[in-house]
Each structure stands twice: as structure tokens, then as C-alpha cells.
A and B are shown apart, each in its own frame.
Chain A
């Protein structure tokens, strides 16, 4: 179901990058790109136009919400999910205002990720039909 999907993972933690990559592999996601900070994430987004981005908040060289803003400025339809331990009321509101699809509070399970990807696949299919 996810073989045609291109995902960008953005987190400064090697552990999260590895765990999330493992989840993507087990779900059969076609292409997985990784970025270790916000700046790299924006760059990779512009280069590769992934279908969906998972974005951490607390990162060096550009925090997640700043990177989110730049991605949305560049591509208003970008599908970006915040994935962070910092799901405070303020950060959630800010993420929603900028245009994140949702704020996923760490820790997440592979089922949580699967549900998100299913939504993304549906949305992409609908867009194609239109």
C-alpha cells in the first residue's frame, strides 16, 4: 500500500531516525529520506518533494516549526506532521496555525504511523482523481 510513497524523516536523534526508518521499512514505504536538522530538512524537501514529512521540533540549525514554516511557504500543500516530545499547548497551536497536519506526541507506535500514512495515501489518491 505504501510502495509508491516518498517519506522525509527529520530528527536530530539517531535513535529516532533508526526506529522510524525501521517502521517505514516494515510498512513497505518506497523511499525514505532522512535529515538530522531543520535546515537539511528544508533543503531535502525542496530537492525531493516528498509526499509526507515527519518533523521533530527541538533540533539544531533551525527548529522544527521554523522548518515547517519554510516548507509551507515554499509549498502550501505540503503534508507535514510534527513528531516531537514537545507537544505543549503553545507548540501545537503554532504548528496548526502554520499548517501542520497534526502534532504527534512522542513516543509513537508503528500503528500510529501506519494510520497517518493511510490518511496520506487516501489524500493523494483523491487529489489525483480531481
Chain B
């Protein structure tokens, strides 16, 4: 989830454009994080030292790791440890941006440093960051206040939503702020009752729905037909169900869900207080809406 927040951070700080970010996210699955980025992330080398090693490599027939060891920057033990972080999402994203020439190694190093500082992250590996901290960051991002009645469960709801998106659809997205919301929405809808009264909605255009459903169902769908709509609705039902399970364990609250359904042109103005959680996937934008 931190990778997605980091992606938005890069965009918000105008370090990368939205289109370059989307391009980098799309290429992430085929990107391998190089040793230089890993060493900078771990604070073992500076961007200048990495550039120097890369420069050296141009004139030598040696592996980059060997040059780093020969130059005295790293030990082979340190390299072995560093390579384990190669699957970290934010580093893959950074590497992808560097490879495409949208950021320099130094800019990336500075962005990571600032991002960690702003969010009080001490861990080198983002995977080690506690859930509590990421939830807090997400809450701050969407301006939710857990002390406000009605909003206390929204942070948990969104945090689980992000986990479920990563788990069932893909990690190539970034959260966004609400810019403007249409008065109507088309998509899946499900009501939650008992202990929390809310209407939840997934809203997106047809092409985005088709791709979202294709990934969730692990099938190649081509049109927004009844089956595609059923897949979108089932994702909402699955997520809401898992949220209900979580609340029953953490707080002893037993939520009830009403059957999910898909509607065209739902009027949003009559649904009460709207909380909108926009997410940009590489294939399109989706609004997750909770009306309370």
C-alpha cells in the first residue's frame, strides 16, 4: 500500500507527471531493481557513488556488484542482503522511472528520503512498516478523522480496500484526491447495515469496468455485459464481506450486508454524506464511494 501512496507523492510533488507515473507502473512487472537503487535505499551508498560505479562499469567487463566490492563501497554480504529487497514495490517503481529517464537516481533518492521523513517511516524495507502507520497515512491522505463519529471505521475500510485491490486486481494504481464528482454514478452498489450504516459504490466508465472485472475474474472479458457487471458486484461483496469479518474480530461488531447489485446512473445527491476514494489504475480511474 505504501508503494501506491509513494506513487501519488511523486506526482503531488511534481517529480513525475501522471502519464509518466502510469507508464512506470505499467512497466513495473518487467522491471528489475538494480543494485545501485537498492544500495541508495539502504543508505549504504550515495547517488554520486552509484553514478561513479556505473561510469566505471562502462570501461570494465565486470559485474556492477563486483565493482562496488572492489571499490570498497559494499561487502559481498551486504550485496546478498540488498538483493532480497529487489521485490519492493516502491523501488521497482523508482527503477522503472529511472530506466525511462523520467527521474535521476539522485532525485529518486531524495524523494524517498523526504517521503520517509514526512511520514515518520524509519524502516528501510517498506514491507516492514507497520499496518498502523500505513492506515494513518491513508487516513491523512483522504482527510479522514477517526475521532469523528461515522468516520471511525472508514480508515479501516479504505485500508482493507487497498489491500484487496492489490490482492485481487493488481498493484499498478495510485490513490487520488477527489477533483470533481458527477451527480450520478454507474456501477456496483451494496448497502451495509447494523453498527455501520452505509451505501458502498464502485463507479467507473465501461472500459475500466471491463478491465477491472477481467483481472478480478482472471478471464479476458471484452464488454460490460451481465457477467462483467456480476464480477464488479462480486468484488464489492467480497470486499465488504472481508471488512465485516475484520470488524467482527476487532470490535465484536456484526455488520449485515444487503445483496449487491449493478445500477446505471445512480443519483448520488440523495445518498447523504459522500466519501469518495478515487484510485487511478494503469487502465483507468475508479471511484470507490461510501455514502453515510
- Given B227, B241, B248, B252, which contacts A85 in the complex, CB threshold below 8 Å? B241
* Cβ 8 A contact of B241, one of A18, A59, A84: A84
The number of residues on chain A lying at the interface, defined by a beta carbon within 8 Å of a beta carbon of chain B, is: 21
Asked whether B226 is an interface residue with its Cβ less than 8 Å from the other chain, the reply is yes
Contacts of B252 in A (CB 8 A): 89
Interface residues of A (CB under 8 A from B): 12-16, 18-19, 58-60, 84-91, 105-107
Q: With A12-B259, A15-B227 in contact, is A88–B248 under 8 Å at CB?
A: yes
B220 to chain A, nearest CB (A): 14
Q: Which residues of B contact A90 (CB under 8 A)?
A: 248, 254
Decide: A88 and B242 in contact? CB cutoff 8 A.
no
Given A13-B233, A90-B248, 4 more pairs with CB closer than 8 A: A58-B237, A84-B241, A85-B240, A91-B254
| From B233, B245, B257, B259, contact of A105 by CB (8 A) | B245
Q: List 10 A-B contacts (CB under 8 A).
A: A14-B230, A19-B217, A58-B241, A58-B259, A58-B260, A85-B237, A85-B239, A85-B245, A106-B241, A107-B238
Interface residues on B, range: 20 to 34
Which of A15, A85, A87, A88 contacts B217 (CB under 8 A)? A15
- The answer to whether A86 and B244 have CB atoms under 8 Å apart is yes
Interface of B is mostly: helix
Q: Which of B217, B227, B231, B238 contacts A106 (CB 8 A)?
A: B238
Q: Which of B230, B240, B241, B244 contacts A15 (CB 8 A)?
A: B230
User: Would you call B231 and A15 a contact (CB within 8 A)?
Assistant: yes
Report yes or no: A13 in contact with B237, Cβ–Cβ below 8 A.
yes
* Whole-angstrom distance between the Cβ of A25 and the nearest chain B Cβ: 15
Task: Give the residue of A16, A58, A86 whose beta carbon is less than 8 angstroms from that of B245.
Answer: A86
B230 touches A13 (CB 8 A): yes
Question: Mask for B218-257, Cβ within 8 A of A = 1, else 0?
Answer: 0000000011001101100111111011011100101101
Query: Which of A18, A84, A89 touches B227 (beta carbons < 8 Å)?
Result: A18
**In the complex where A19-B217, A60-B259, A88-B255 touch, is A14 in contact with B245 (Cβ < 8 A)?**
no
A13-B230, A19-B217 known; A86+B259 contact, CB < 8 A: no
**Complex contact A88–B244 (CB within 8 A):** yes
Please tell me if B258 contacts chain A, counting CB pairs below 8 Å.
yes
